[in-house]
């Protein structure tokens, strides 16, 4: 069979593009993924105890985009969920992002207004100019002590780089609050797919024009199939056979544990920000999925590492220059479109990927 589009990667980018092209343009799409499942890193599955776990770490849906929310709502019902994260320091838990509760508990203060909290930040922050890295952006907002406690060692564990070696965007995307809002996100739409992400992806891809092939590296089939255009959502350097060198990513190793207890920790996710703890965070999945299993719970510990599945592009000036070479090569490539976080070497939230794909599809359709 000849296909109109070969789409590489069955995560959010590939799946949304496949659904739009098959459904709206009535084109035949072959969707290929090297893994044995759809859904990319958002894939979830039931473990042997019946608890729904996120195989690649916690994925929390949140967006301010009505367009994105309404689009995905065609493929899932939702369960309202507001995510809360704690940071553990000396066996005590503090709300993250840092807020008034964090400051009061950490420094034994009794601030009751946003103005008092803001004045505290102003009294401890250190003026940095220009803002050239992630240490600068945090110290400039909240000073050195909070930076040391909450950001320095956690960032080093996660990236194997200290904040002063990373772009300001890495730590800058974490807000600093003066109120007592302990929600991790403040977006208008905060939900979890009622039956999980995998079920949602199954419905996104349930179109007669979409053909799915898993456990397959697309390069092994290029001489066996015919197609007009390709949408590539994998690592852009892999597409070009690493001709300019390999773009670095941080990966994650997960250790899953079952515990015979009703609840393991107070919040769904606890960040371990201290230097002496080898893992970055611990997730308790029942608190994400609202499942009830008498006396049993499943957790995962995350260990950041260099090798493995690519999770996070490493944002610094050297890697930006290297990606630029691949980007210029991609611009010269006919009938191949590069979409998504791996293809664009950019950290996107799930809703941002969906939004970009919906916009890109409109441009594609108009062409």
What one-character-per-residue DSSP string does 349-363 give?
A: -HHHHHHHHHHHHHH
pLDDT of 78 higher than 80: yes
Query: Helices marked H in the chain — which ranges?
Result: 12-24, 66-72, 100-107, 114-124, 134-146, 153-159, 168-172, 197-204, 236-239, 286-289, 317-331, 350-366
d(CA 52, CA 158): 25
- At residue 351 the predicted structure's pLDDT band, cuts being 50, 70 and 90, is very high
d(CA 5, CA 309): 25
Share of the chain above pLDDT 90, in %: 94
Q: What is the average pLDDT across 79-99?
A: 97
- Contact call for residues 232 and 339 (beta carbons, < 8 A): yes
* Model pLDDT for residues 179-209, shown as the tens digit of each residue: 999 999 999 999 999 999 999 999 999 999 9
CATH number belonging to the domain at 2-38+205-247+311-366, selected among 3.90.76.10, 3.40.640.10, 3.40.50.720, 1.10.10.10: 3.40.50.720
- At residue 291 the predicted structure's pLDDT band, cuts being 50, 70 and 90, is confident
Q: What is the average pLDDT across 11-37?
A: 98
Mean residue pLDDT of the chain comes to 96
Residues in the chain: 367
What are the sequence ranges of the domains in the chain?
Answer: 2-38+205-247+311-366, 85-172
Tokens representing 228 are 């007009």
Nearest to 61 by CA among 353, 365, 367, 359: 353
Share of the chain above pLDDT 70, in %: 100
Residue 116 phi, psi (nearest 5): -65, -40
- At residue 25 the predicted structure's pLDDT band, cuts being 50, 70 and 90, is very high
* Model pLDDT for residues 92-124, shown as the tens digit of each residue: 999 999 999 999 999 999 999 999 999 999 999
In this predicted structure, what is the pLDDT of residue 48?
85
In this predicted structure, what is the pLDDT of residue 170?
92
d(CA 311, CA 313): 7
* Model pLDDT for residues 207-236, shown as the tens digit of each residue: 999 999 999 999 999 999 999 999 999 999
Omega before 97 within 30 of 0, i.e. cis: yes
More confident residue, 291 or 214: 214
pLDDT of 292 higher than 90: no
In this predicted structure, what is the pLDDT of residue 294?
76
In this predicted structure, what is the pLDDT of residue 81?
97
> What's the whole-model pTM score?
0.94
* Model pLDDT for residues 136-170, shown as the tens digit of each residue: 999 999 999 999 999 999 999 999 999 999 999 89
């Amino acid at each position: 069979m000849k296909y109109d589009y070969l789409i590489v990667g069955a995560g959010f980018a590939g799946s949304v593009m496949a659904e739009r092209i098959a459904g709206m343009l009535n084109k035949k799409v072959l969707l290929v993924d090297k893994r044995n499942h759809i859904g990319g890193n958002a894939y979830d599955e039931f473990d042997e105890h019946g608890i729904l776990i996120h195989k690649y770490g916690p994925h929390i849906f949140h967006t301010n985009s009505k367009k994105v929310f309404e689009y995905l709502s065609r493929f899932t019902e939702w369960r309202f969920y507001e995510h809360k994260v704690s940071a553990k320091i000396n066996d005590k838990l503090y709300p993250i992002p840092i807020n008034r509760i964090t400051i009061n508990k950490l420094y034994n203060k009794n601030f009751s207004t946003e103005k008092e909290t803001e004045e505290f930040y102003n009294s401890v922050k250190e003026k940095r100019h220009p803002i050239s890295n992630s240490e600068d952006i945090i110290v400039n907002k909240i000073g050195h002590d909070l930076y040391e406690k909450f950001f320095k060692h956690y960032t080093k564990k996660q990236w194997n780089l200290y904040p002063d070696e990373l772009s300001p965007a890495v730590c800058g995307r974490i807000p600093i609050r003066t109120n007592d809002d302990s929600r991790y996100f403040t977006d208008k739409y905060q939900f979890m797919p009622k039956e999980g992400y995998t079920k949602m992806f199954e419905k996104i891809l349930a179109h007669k024009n979409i053909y799915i092939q898993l456990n397959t590296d697309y390069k092994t089939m290029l001489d066996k199939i015919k197609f007009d255009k390709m949408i590539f959502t994998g690592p852009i350097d892999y597409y070009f056979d690493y001709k300019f060198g390999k773009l670095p990513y941080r990966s994650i190793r997960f250790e899953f544990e079952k515990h015979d207890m009703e609840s393991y920790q107070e919040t769904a996710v606890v960040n371990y920000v201290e230097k002496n703890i080898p893992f970055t965070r611990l997730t308790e999945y029942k608190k994400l999925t609202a499942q009830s299993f008498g006396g049993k719970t499943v957790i995962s510990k995350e260990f950041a590492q260099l090798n493995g599945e690519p999770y996070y592009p490493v944002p610094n000036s050297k890697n930006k220059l290297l990606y630029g070479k691949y980007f210029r090569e991609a611009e010269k490539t006919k009938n191949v479109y590069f979409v998504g976080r791996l293809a664009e070497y950019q950290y996107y939230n799930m809703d941002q990927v969906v939004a970009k794909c919906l916009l890109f599809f409109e441009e594609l359709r108009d062409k």
